[in-house]
Amino acid sequence: MTAITQEILNTFDELPNSDQIEVALAILKRIIHFDFSPLDDEDLVLNAEELFLELDQQESEP
């Protein structure tokens, strides 16, 4: 991930929920026509593992 991409994500995380929703919707509208190749099983497992690890970390934070 590039530094600018990480900066955008960090800024996004600091936004209020209502602004995060607006930004997410704007991004989704821009990428809806992208030609994505289907994910294979390995990609799905890796993404799921990353998501679950992040959720576990969030739940363990005070």
Are 47 and 39 within 8 A, CB to CB? yes
**Domain containing residue 33:** 3-60
* Average pLDDT taken over every residue of the chain: 92
**CA 34 to mean position of chain CA atoms:** 17
Domain count, the chain: 1
Mean pLDDT of 6-17: 96
Q: Are 30 and 23 in contact (CB under 8 A)?
A: no
Instruction: Retrieve residue 26's tokens.
Output: 């704007």
Distance CA 33, CA 31 (A): 5
pLDDT digits (tens, 9 = 90+) for 20-36: 999 999 999 999 888 88
Mean pLDDT on 5-18? 96
Query: Residues 22, 15: contact at Cβ < 8 Å?
Result: no
> In a 3-state reduction of DSSP, which class is residue 33?
coil
